[in-house]
Chain A
Amino acid sequence: MLEDRSSQAAGGDTDASPRRPAGALEAEVLALLQAAEVGLSPGQVQQLIAARQHTELSYSTIVTIMSRLHAKGLLARQRAGRAFVYTPVDEASLAASRMGRALDAGPSHDAVLARFASGLSSRDARLLRQLLAQSESEG
């Protein structure tokens, strides 16, 4: 079960199909690829969508969507003959990368989570290096 497929994944989509917003299309293509056992080419994705959704999407639309997903780091691709074959980046990282981006925005989070070790002032950095060097020399 994927997380919410809202505009979290989409960033600046301008090329929208007349019927559905581009974000929803991307999510569908992604879901298709995740459900598949193997990587798929755009042509195969086009056929699957036509069979499943009974809608015709043009080949170029599919290619655009999948290249965009690739550019976002959600799909990996390999050349197979003349076209590419796309596979989803592994699921855990998928969820995490979305979360990572979402968490970057939001100062309120600092109130709740404590970083393992955050950046240091120059004085603290010097002090730290001295401490660690001392401990090394004491071995």
Chain B
Amino acid sequence: MQFLVFIPLLIPAVAAAAARPLADRLKPRQGTWLLAASAIVLAGCSTAALALLAAWAAAAAPPLAALGDYSETVARRGDPAPILTGIAATVLLVGAAMTTAIAVRRRGRALAESYRRASRLRPGRGRVVIVPSPAIEAYALPGWPGRIVVSTGALAALDTRGRSALLAHERAHLSGQHHMFTTVARLAASLNPLLLPLAHAVEYTTERWADEQAARTTGDRRLVAATIGQIALLATSPPDTTLGISGAPPRRISLAWAGPVPRRVAALLAPPPRRHILLLAATVAILLLAGASALEAAKDLHDLLELARAAG
């Protein structure tokens, strides 16, 4: 029990390190599903593990042990200080519950607001709402139905093909309900902060998903890459419009610490990602491990408590 219960607590740390490499390698659609599912599973397993530790400590603590007719000595067998671990686990659980409650409320309100505004808007063709504004803005507003919001500034910056790339990308967000994936991943991360890199990875893969869909719709991956680049550079303050050949000697470009926009552009300029069956299988295996160890630990604790009660 004492080993098993820590496995679901350690795996999120592994997941945190693996999130970005996975996001970079997997096909965006698979990656989104897998990373979001991983976030849920790992959040559930780690929370369960903390609960088990707390319950174990509760059984081993003298006053509580007396209440439940448990024999303390038997309950403490195998771990010299279950009470301390239990207290730590309880503190973490309470913290996680509080932050998750806050996150659920905030996110729920943001979503409700989004749906409300989306329903009040009267769009033009294809659910697109054009906002007269010099700012460079374009986003999908989740709703029922969703809306695409674009500023006149953004439209003016692009030619016809760029505009279709932009709109195809935003349409993909709406039809794929991508906000569901990011919501779920964010909530998982509030249950277990180690999973925050997973949440960021999901946000990234949903962007990549929309990018690849836009590339399929327009038939031109380089067009989508150039459009992203144009908009991002214009949206940077001070506005950066230099898009030509810089004249500097080409150095090796490292994407290691790059933000999402250059990575998206680089991914579109490279060949489309291929299937990684091994990676998928390995990830699923690790998730199964987390689930199985949580389950086994729960069984162990149950058995231990039965024993303690019999001896108490």
Q: A: which residues have CB within 8 A of B?
A: 3, 73, 89, 91-93, 95-97, 99-100, 102-103, 106, 108-109, 111-121, 123-125, 127-137
Contact = CB atoms under 8 A, between A and B. Distances in A.
A128 B120 CA distance: 37
Interface of B: 106-107, 109-111, 113-114, 117, 120-124, 129-133, 137-142, 149, 151, 154, 166, 169-170, 173, 178-179, 182-183, 186, 203, 206-207, 222, 225-226, 228-229, 231-233, 235-237, 240, 242-246, 250-251, 253, 255, 258-259, 261-262, 265-266, 269
Looking at chain A's contact residues, the main secondary structure is helix
B110 to A, nearest CB: 4
Contact of B132 (A73, A102, A112, A123): A73
Contact of A108 (B106, B207, B243, B255): B106
Contact of A125 (B132, B140, B154, B240): B240
A1 to B, nearest CB: 9
Given A92-B130, A102-B117, A112 B261 contact: no
Nearest to B125: A92
Contact of A106 (B113, B137, B207, B233): B113
A63 B125 CA distance: 35
A106 B237 CA distance: 21
Contacts of A97: 131-133
A124 B259 contact: yes
Contacts of B207: 114
Given A112-B114, A132-B225, 6 more contacts: A112-B110, A112-B111, A114-B206, A130-B246, A132-B229, A134-B250
A69 B131 CA distance: 18
B76 to A, nearest CB: 45
Nearest to B107: A111
A133 B266 CA distance: 12
B149 A96 contact: yes
A109 B137 contact: no
A92 B129 contact: yes
Given A109-B110, A109-B113, A109-B114, A96 B130 contact: yes
Contacts of B182: 114
Most buried by A among B123, B129, B183: B129
B232 A111 contact: no
B236 A125 contact: yes
Contact of B265 (A100, A103, A123, A131): A131
30 contacts: A3-B120, A93-B130, A93-B131, A95-B129, A99-B120, A103-B117, A103-B149, A106-B113, A108-B110, A109-B114, A113-B179, A114-B139, A114-B182, A114-B207, A117-B138, A117-B229, A119-B237, A120-B235, A120-B261, A124-B259, A125-B240, A127-B255, A127-B258, A128-B233, A128-B261, A128-B262, A130-B246, A130-B253, A132-B229, A135-B269
